[in-house]
Amino acid sequence: MKKIVVVGGGIVGICTAYFLQKSGFKVTIIDKEDPGTMTSFGHACTFADYASIPVNSPSLFSQIPAMLFKGDSPLAIDFFYLIKNLPWAFKFLKNCRKDKVEKIAKSLANFLKHSQLSYDEIFKEVNVSEYIKNEENIYLFDSKKAYDEYKYATLIRKKNNVKVVELSKNEIHDLEPNLAPVYYSGQLFVGSRHTTNPLSISKKIFENFLLRGGKYIKENVKNVSQKENSIELSLENKRIECDEMIICAGAWSNIIANMVGENFPLDTERGYHVLFETDQQLINRPIAWSESGFYLIQIEDGIRAAGTVEIAGLNKPPNNQRTNMIERQSRKILPQLGKVKSTWMGRRPTLPDALPIIGRSEKNKNILFAFGHQHIGWTLAAVTGKAINELIKGNKPNFDINDFSPNRFK
Ligand SMILES: Cc1cc2nc3c(=O)[nH]c(=O)nc-3n(C[C@H](O)[C@H](O)[C@H](O)COP(=O)(O)OP(=O)(O)OC[C@H]3O[C@@H](n4cnc5c(N)ncnc54)[C@H](O)[C@@H]3O)c2cc1C
């Protein structure tokens, strides 16, 4: 059986390794960190099958000045970083045209349709029911203006068969009585679910992979070379060889792709969370707050407020202004929140057209890619793993991944 290396043990790498191991391949995950502890750890916990609308949007153009100069808008841009990365910014803006946005939403919606079933294949075997809740996610609009501005996104969602229920102020109060009445109206996404402990889910799938004979090496991948019919990886202390390699290194994937002469316009949308203490059940479901672009979720450790976007690259230290804004806004919606327990920053892997890269390299025949899942990598990990498993077996997945081709930026 083929020897396969999965570089990156985030949720995408873990699910990919799970499906490959189940197919009988000899699989090794290499990650310099403990699996599931990077971006896949601190997110907003939603299995967001409805979230096909990209950050790219026709209305973004008019909002850019505020993003550059107001640190507490839902989307903030570091001016100096932007100047250094203008080609990426132009590619991103090109994808803000109406026709592009609708095409992106359609591709993502078609893929998202398979996300729940793909996870359920894993969950049939890996019991994570204690960490999954079926109370459906809601989105709160702070004003009529925000609601009206969102109409276009709602229309696209509905066009892609997402079931959205409009909620009045009273209906929101009935569902979530502890929220301060600072909202105008809301929407509920039918059939959505969430987790109360993402790390435990990642760990359980990873442990199942090990139990079936999967291997894990905790090391940094320093170099990769394509041999005639195999791949050689240089780690800190050793070299290993495999038949095929999959790059699932999230926001760091392009660094590894560069090692074999490939290059993708991958950047990162940094996001933050603030974890609040609480000793009571304050909310029942993930609650998105339109004014600030984050979700409040009651998890096992407390209440997590997670989201927002900051374009400032991989390496800049976390920006306290962002977590202070999240804290302030969270307390406005849920005044009963306790003390802040911790804060966190994560790096969403994002391509300028908001679509992931899933497929085989044209240049290095033994290398496949699975990264760039932006805001919905937690949701799309299992279906991505299934797609890669089919490609390695030499089959065509029974869902369309053409729009995620690694060659689309050439
Ligand atoms: C604030 C926030 C909220 C979010 N909310 C949601 C949500 O509600 N729902 C949703 O679906 N998605 C959400 N997301 C997006 C989601 O978290 C990501 O898309 C997803 O976690 C990406 O997973 P990954 O496996 O690609 O990357 P990661 O989890 O980052 O894993 C990549 C791994 O590669 C490893 N690696 C990198 N370089 C090397 C190297 N050289 N050698 C060895 N290992 C290496 C890293 O150590 C890391 O473990 C959110 C993201 C953020 C930041």
| Per-residue pLDDT at 213 exceeds 70 | yes
pLDDT digits (tens, 9 = 90+) for 242-252: 999 999 999 99
233 alpha carbon, distance to own chain's centre = 27
How confident is the model at residue 59, as a pLDDT? 77
Taking the centre of ligand 1 as the mean of its atom positions, its distance from the CA of residue 371, in whole angstroms, is 9
- Range 96-101 average pLDDT: 93
Residue among 393, 405, 375, 387 nearest 117 (CA): 387
Taking the centre of ligand 1 as the mean of its atom positions, its distance from the CA of residue 267, in whole angstroms, is 13
Taking the centre of ligand 1 as the mean of its atom positions, its distance from the CA of residue 144, in whole angstroms, is 34
Residue among 54, 276, 283, 109 nearest 180 (CA): 283
How confident is the model at residue 410, as a pLDDT? 85
Taking the centre of ligand 1 as the mean of its atom positions, its distance from the CA of residue 32, in whole angstroms, is 13
Is the Cβ–Cβ distance between 142 and 186 less than 8 Å? Answer: no
Taking the centre of ligand 1 as the mean of its atom positions, its distance from the CA of residue 322, in whole angstroms, is 19
Residue among 179, 138, 140 nearest 337 (CA): 179
| Per-residue pLDDT at 371 exceeds 80 | yes
User: Ligand 1: which of 30, 37, 43 to mutate, most ligand atoms within 8 Å of CB?
Assistant: 43
- State if residue 8 touches ligand 1 by the CB under 6 angstroms criterion: yes
| Per-residue pLDDT at 70 exceeds 90 | no
CA 291/CA 320 separation, integer angstroms: 19
71 pLDDT band, cuts 50/70/90, is: low
- State if residue 304 touches ligand 1 by the CB under 6 angstroms criterion: no
The three-class DSSP label of residue 345 is strand
How confident is the model at residue 63, as a pLDDT? 72
- Range 72-83 average pLDDT: 86
- State if residue 268 touches ligand 1 by the CB under 6 angstroms criterion: no
Helical spans, DSSP H, in 136-229: 144-149, 151-159, 169-175, 198-211
Domain ranges of the chain: 3-212+246-404
- Range 331-358 average pLDDT: 97
317 pLDDT band, cuts 50/70/90, is: very high
**Angle formed at CA 368 by CA 367 and CA 373, multiple of 5 degrees:** 145
The rounded percent of the chain whose pLDDT value lies above 90 is 90
- State if residue 193 touches ligand 1 by the CB under 6 angstroms criterion: no
How confident is the model at residue 60, as a pLDDT? 73
Q: Which CATH architecture has domain 3-212+246-404?
A: 2-Layer Sandwich (3.30)
How confident is the model at residue 114, as a pLDDT? 97
Task: Tell me the pLDDT of the chain averaged across its residues.
Answer: 95
- Range 254-283 average pLDDT: 97
> Minimum mean pLDDT among 90-94, 109-113, 183-187: which range?
90-94
| Per-residue pLDDT at 69 exceeds 80 | no
- At 316, phi and psi to the nearest 5? -65, 140
Is the Cβ–Cβ distance between 101 and 56 less than 8 Å? Answer: yes
- State if residue 252 touches ligand 1 by the CB under 6 angstroms criterion: yes
Which of ligand 1's atoms lies nearest the C-alpha of 346?
53
- State if residue 376 touches ligand 1 by the CB under 6 angstroms criterion: yes
Tokens 């560069």 found at: 258
Tokens read off for 225: 């070379």
Taking the centre of ligand 1 as the mean of its atom positions, its distance from the CA of residue 40, in whole angstroms, is 4
| Per-residue pLDDT at 56 exceeds 90 | no
